[in-house]
């Protein structure tokens, strides 16, 4: 097998990154934009020792599950890797991805049920983060997602997975920045003003919080004036913030955010609870699917415990703690982001909750000093999962069940394997489709200590 060689390939399945898997000359071949049961002619673009990657030249026999993507930018954008697959089959493929990870990485033989679908599969994404750059000659602003496996920005004018108002706001920013001498960011030279546009949309109220991430440590007069101009042109925008990120980094948000007009939050509502969400606080991008997950966890706790003491680790704005407050004697939450803790405390007041105890700091450090035993411990870590030390401490603190919420089947499988080696047993794993049309899948695992 050689680079640029054209092969006829039968696509067997999808990888955990959403690429098709075929086999040729004893190698696994990963094929972009392929669907299981496709027969394709594909061009080899790279050959490694154990695998190759290829791009489709022609689809000779399309899979019965192949559909026309509803977004014209699907192939070049790279954000919705599975949009050319019918939605019901997407749910089955995600179930298979979870099952493969649990068996191959976790070594566990657990039946995985069908992925619970997203209530909406279009206009569902309530958080938009677009990197910004500009053309070299015309200095025209570009904003959109990165082209797959590159840092080349695809200038997106229309995206059907987020609310249409987001397209209009971003287009207004693109078209009016030059009037205020606001330039796009060049990551190679670390020059330019505007690095990212971040929009948080409330499904509950329709209001939008806009954050402009700037390559500066302080507010420039022209950027403030531009931010106020954007605010004045959209009734839907409740506030405009400037986030300061002058570092050479791929991290989107810097440590400091300042609201320049309006208010610094939006409100979202899940399970009859209202949440305050800031520009730099974590909240699920798909509130409807998030509500499914919170309801699933709450219902499990209500059916299996009576007035339990609950630990909510990696709590963010204490979303689980707030949603479970009615089912618990007390919820103890731990979160390292101070702004998330502040927004959580404000949400406690809104919802008249007085049985959630919040701690601001590192979860691992909190675990070391905590003496109470919890009936239920909820862990919702980032994609990298938990450290062994953190899992040991959660085990020490839990006398009933651990509920592990994960957005990464691989690290979930790794951590479940470790917990089982420590004597735990996995009762169930339920996938949820939080990120429709992508290869990402959210999971809730129930673990008996």
Residue 280 lies in a domain: no
Would you state the pLDDT for residue 16? 86
For residues 178 and 16, which has the higher predicted lDDT (pLDDT)?
178
> Same domain, yes or no, for 387 and 410?
yes
Q: Is pLDDT at 279 greater than 80 in this prediction?
A: yes
> Same domain, yes or no, for 382 and 399?
yes
Q: Identify whether the C-beta of residue 200 lies closer than 8 Å to the C-beta of residue 151.
A: no
CATH classification of the domain holding 175: 2.40.50.1070
Q: Is 159 a catalytic residue?
A: no
> Same domain, yes or no, for 381 and 329?
yes
Would you state the pLDDT for residue 226? 98
CATH classification of the domain holding 427: 3.40.50.150
Residue 148 lies in a domain: yes
pLDDT band at 129 (very low <50, low <70, confident <90, very high): very high
- Look up tokens 């959403």; give the residue: 18
CA distance 88 to 110: 22
Would you state the pLDDT for residue 151? 85
Chain centroid to Cα 295, Å, comes to 19
Order across the sheet with 256-262: list the strands. Answer: 141-143, 127-134, 194-201, 208-214, 237-244, 256-262
Alpha helix stretches (DSSP H) within 73-136: 74-77, 87-104
pLDDT tens for each residue of 284-337: 999 999 999 999 999 999 999 999 999 998 898 999 999 999 999 999 999 988
> Same domain, yes or no, for 31 and 135?
no
- Look up tokens 């699933």; give the residue: 296
> Same domain, yes or no, for 162 and 263?
yes
For strand 127-134 and strand 194-201, is the pairing parallel, antiparallel, or unpaired? antiparallel
Compute and round to an integer the Cα radius of gyration of the chain: 23
pLDDT band at 147 (very low <50, low <70, confident <90, very high): confident
Residue 75 lies in a domain: no
pTM above 0.85, yes or no: yes
pLDDT tens for each residue of 91-119: 999 999 999 999 999 999 999 999 999 99
Residue 1 lies in a domain: no
CA distance 334 to 310: 11
Residue among 407, 420, 424, 436 flagged as catalytic: 407
Q: Identify whether the C-beta of residue 40 lies closer than 8 Å to the C-beta of residue 9.
A: yes
Of 175, 189, 187, 236, residue with least CA distance to 213: 187
Q: Is pLDDT at 362 greater than 90 in this prediction?
A: no
Number of domains forming the structure of the chain: 3
> Same domain, yes or no, for 297 and 392?
yes
Would you state the pLDDT for residue 165? 98
Residue 78 lies in a domain: no
> Same domain, yes or no, for 300 and 255?
no
Where among 216, 237, 270 does a domain terminate?
Answer: 270
> Same domain, yes or no, for 40 and 96?
no
Domain carrying residue 184: 127-270
Provide the greatest CA pair distance for the chain: 66
> Same domain, yes or no, for 189 and 242?
yes
pLDDT tens for each residue of 179-236: 999 999 999 999 999 999 999 999 999 999 999 999 999 999 999 999 999 999 999 9
Half-sphere exposure of 60 (CA within 13 A, CB side): 10
> Same domain, yes or no, for 163 and 249?
yes
Q: Is pLDDT at 148 greater than 80 in this prediction?
A: no
> Same domain, yes or no, for 103 and 250?
no
Residue 36 lies in a domain: yes
Of 297, 293, 233, 300, residue with least CA distance to 261: 233
For strand 51-61 and strand 20-24, is the pairing parallel, antiparallel, or unpaired? unpaired
Q: Is pLDDT at 171 greater than 90 in this prediction?
A: yes
């Amino acid at each position: 097998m050689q680079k640029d060689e054209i092969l006829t390939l039968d696509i067997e399945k999808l990888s955990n990154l959403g690429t098709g898997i075929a086999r040729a000359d004893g190698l696994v071949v990963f094929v972009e934009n392929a669907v299981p049961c496709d027969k394709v002619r594909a061009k080899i673009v790279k050959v490694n020792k154990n695998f190759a990657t290829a791009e489709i030249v022609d689809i000779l026999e399309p899979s019965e599950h192949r559909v026309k993507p509803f977004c014209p930018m699907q192939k070049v954008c790279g954000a919705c890797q599975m949009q050319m697959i019918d939605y019901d089959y997407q749910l089955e493929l995600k179930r298979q991805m979870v099952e493969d990870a649990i068996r191959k990485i976790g070594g566990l033989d657990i039946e995985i049920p069908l992925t619970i679908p997203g209530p909406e599969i279009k206009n569902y994404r309530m958080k938009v983060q677009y990197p910004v750059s500009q053309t070299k000659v015309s200095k025209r602003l570009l904003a959109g997602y990165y082209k797959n496996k590159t840092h080349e920005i695809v200038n997106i004018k229309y995206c059907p997975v987020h609310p249409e108002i987001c397209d209009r706001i971003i287009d207004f920013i693109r078209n009016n920045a030059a009037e205020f001498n606001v330039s796009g960011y060049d990551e190679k030279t670390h020059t330019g003003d505007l690095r990212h546009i971040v929009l948080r949309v409330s499904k509950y109220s329709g209001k939008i919080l806009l954050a402009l991430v700037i390559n500066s440590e302080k507010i420039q007069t022209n950027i403030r004036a531009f931010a106020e101009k954007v605010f004045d042109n959209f009734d839907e925008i409740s506030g405009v913030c400037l986030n300061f990120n002058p570092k050479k980094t791929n991290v989107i948000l810097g440590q400091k955010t300042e609201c320049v007009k309006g208010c610094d939050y939006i409100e979202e509502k899940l399970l009859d609870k209202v949440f305050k969400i800031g520009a730099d606080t974590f909240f699920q991008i798909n509130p409807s699917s998030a509500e499914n997950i919170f309801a699933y966890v709450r219902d499990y706790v209500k059916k299996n415990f009576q007035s339990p003491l609950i630990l909510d680790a990696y709590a963010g704005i204490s979303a689980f703690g707030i949603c479970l407050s009615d089912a618990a004697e007390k919820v103890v939450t731990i979160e390292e982001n101070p702004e998330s803790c502040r927004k959580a405390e404000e949400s406690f007041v809104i919802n008249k909750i007085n049985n959630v105890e919040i701690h601001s700091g590192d979860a691992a450090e909190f675990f070391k000093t905590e003496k109470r035993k919890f009936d239920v411990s909820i862990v919702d870590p980032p994609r990298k999962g938990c450290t062994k030390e953190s899992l040991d401490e959660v085990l020490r603190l839990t006398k009933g069940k651990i509920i592990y919420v994960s957005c990464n089947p691989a690290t979930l499988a790794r951590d479940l394997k470790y917990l089982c080696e420590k004597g735990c047993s996995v009762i169930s794993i339920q996938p949820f489709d939080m990120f429709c049309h992508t290869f990402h899948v959210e999971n809730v695992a129930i673990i008996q200590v």
